[in-house]
Amino acid sequence: MRSFLLLLLFVITKIAFGQNLLLQNTQIIDPAAQKIHRGAILIRDGKIAQILTVVPKGFKGEQVDLAGKWVIPGLNDMHVHSFGNVAPGNNMQLLMTPGAAKMMLYCGVTGFLDLFSLESQIFADREQQRKSGALGADIYCAGPIFTCTGGHGTEYGIPTRVINSPAEAEREIAELALKKPDVVKIVYDHAAAQYFPTIDQATMTAAIQAAAKLGIKTVVHIGTWQDAKEAILAGASAITHLYREEIPDEVVALFKQKNVYSIPTMTVVTELAQIKQNPALLDNALLAAVTTPALLKAFRDTAAYDARTNAWLNRQRDRQAVFYKSVKKLADGGVKIMTGTDCGNLGTFQGFSLHREMQIMVEAGLSPWQALAAATTTPGEFFGQPFGVKIGSVANLVVLNASPLENIGNTQNIATVIHRGKVITREHLLKPPSHPWTQALLDDFSKTDMTSAFGIQWDRNLDAGFGGKSTLQHEYRDGTLRAWGKLQPAPNAPGLAGFSLDCDKKETPFDVSAFFGIRLRIKSASGPLFLKLITVGVTNYDYHATLISNSADFQELKIPFAQFKQFWSAPAAWTGKDVRGVALWVSGFQPADFEFVIDQIEFY
């Protein structure tokens, strides 16, 4: 026996030596097994290598003594729209997906599933993150949603996939599959028939089966329980949302029989009413860290709620009890439930609302164990990924100061976040450290492939994501870049067309305070052209900018930073220490033809 123990200690020591990270003196919560282990976690190459009761001798890697704190697997939000947050009165905190990913990770949400964003942008954001390792929660996405002509999803003005027949469903699914979506989302919603049509049953079935043949899971947005029943029988992988009537026993049994996951999205259908009833919900340090004072003020000012907001609030009050009963019946029926907040809608907040989703589930009668599994290991099972606290699990972990089993609200009491095996400096997610910028020349347009003087490519920017139809063409000629097109904004929204240049592709803030301003040689023949400085401190696109006056000839402009200003929002202080890039954008609320030619741009 003694020889066996010595051999075991030797093997553990050999495995441990040279590991990336050792988390010791911790209480490890395993939601899948509903067990707690006290010991240490060895992490290597972004995965859990060992769960130990004894710290190995000779370990020389990074060690963190967690002093008895609680470790849970990283949290996952399985239904989001990651553009940002909205509040009553059309108040908005625009984060875009990379920014939302940072707020998520700050809140301990290490992964999220975006279920409808601008197709071209969300896939680019996902691939950029996977390629560069940019800091933020792991992005999974559907891209567009599949709906019918005039159906739910088309009202936002964002291009999406329209299918009106089984043949169209098969063709569009096959085309999207080339972009490798993590899931396909389909809208099949007869509850909203007074507002929107929906695809017919044959088209819904064809879409699900086409995705299945290509090995892609499907998430179906339903309106009624009959919709859910038909989608489950067609082979759906997951159903998102609840109906305003209590779920029938036969539908619960069908979920279980067909092994279909439920994403009930409790927060989006209850939280606004809860905020109105208990405004203290907004007095939360974690929430304050990832939102803005203006956003929270808009929720607190209930007297200013418009008719649409009050109508939504009243519906939530009327239906909350039914939603609670339905999610409890799903859990009691052994259905696999996953947390999803439907963030991006009124009453939800990127990252923070995942904690509220778990709290609401517990209020509805689920146990803390069940709520934790819904946010951690069950999403991993759905994705076919090893999420958890077992050997081989992805080392996405959240360290808590108190037990979530005693109070599920303790998931908000975060001590540390581990992402991809690395301890995250959470403050850097809110305010990344700045790096000095030393290169004066940004571009002289001598290259003809959109590559700048320092090797980063310019990005084309259009307003399709906001419902606009602006166009943009460009060509290189004699060391200049010529751009032209037509600004065609959506109703009540600004149009946008132009180019932006990031300092790098990781959204790193740079300190340009060693310079005095920007010098450029440009000819703005027509259209409202703005030169903008993209900064971390501005989250709503109202970047510090200056209007370039129209001219038939080239202008040599030397513009001090002091002349750049914001045009429509509460001003964010200009420091010059958080610059992420520059942009040349034609923007305005009126249609306009535009043309400009740029020869050179640099800091001076």
Banded pLDDT at 204 (limits 50, 70, 90): very high
Amino acid type, 565: K
Reference 453, options 462, 444, 465, 461; nearest CA is: 444
In the chain, what is the greatest distance between 2 CA atoms, to the nearest angstrom? 91
Please tell me the distance from the alpha carbon of residue 558 to that of residue 556, in angstroms, as a whole number.
7
What pLDDT shows up at residue 2?
36
Quick one: three-class SS letters along 134-203?
CCCCEEEECCCEEECCCCCCHHHCCCCEECCCHHHHHHHHHHHHCCCCCEEEEEECCCCCCCCCCCCHHH
Burial class (CB in 10 A: 0-12, 13-18, 19+), 401: middle
- Mean pLDDT, residues 106-125 taken together: 95
What pLDDT shows up at residue 396?
98
Q: State pLDDT tens for residues 268-309.
A: 999 999 999 999 999 999 999 999 999 999 999 999 999 989
β-partners of residue 494 are none
Reference 326, options 358, 292, 287, 361; nearest CA is: 361
User: Would you state the torsion angle of the CA atoms of residues 166, 170, 175, 181, taken in this order, to the nearest 10 degrees?
Assistant: 100
Reference 227, options 272, 260, 179; nearest CA is: 260
Q: Tell me the CATH architecture of domain 435-603.
A: Sandwich (2.60)
What pLDDT shows up at residue 201?
98
Please tell me the distance from the alpha carbon of residue 178 to that of residue 83, in angstroms, as a whole number.
24
415, 400 Cβ separation under 8 angstroms = yes
Q: State pLDDT tens for residues 248-257.
A: 999 999 999 9
- Mean pLDDT, residues 459-475 taken together: 91
Q: State pLDDT tens for residues 442-454.
A: 999 999 999 999 9
Dump the DSSP string for 544-574.
EEEEEPP-SS-EEEEEEGGG-B-SSSPPPPP
Domain boundaries, the chain: 2-68, 75-385, 435-603
Domain 2-68 has CATH 2.30.40: yes
What pLDDT shows up at residue 521?
98
Q: Helix H segments across 417-483? A: 426-430
Banded pLDDT at 1 (limits 50, 70, 90): very low
- Mean pLDDT, residues 348-367 taken together: 98
User: Which stretch of 32-36, 56-60, 198-202, 367-371 has the lowest confidence by average pLDDT?
Assistant: 56-60
* Residue percentage of the chain with pLDDT more than 70: 97
Provide the 8-state DSSP code for 465: G
Reply yes or no on whether the pLDDT at 7 is more than 50.
no
> Considering the domain 75-385 in this protein, what is its CATH number?
3.20.20.140
Provide the 8-state DSSP code for 90: G
Mean pLDDT of the chain: 93
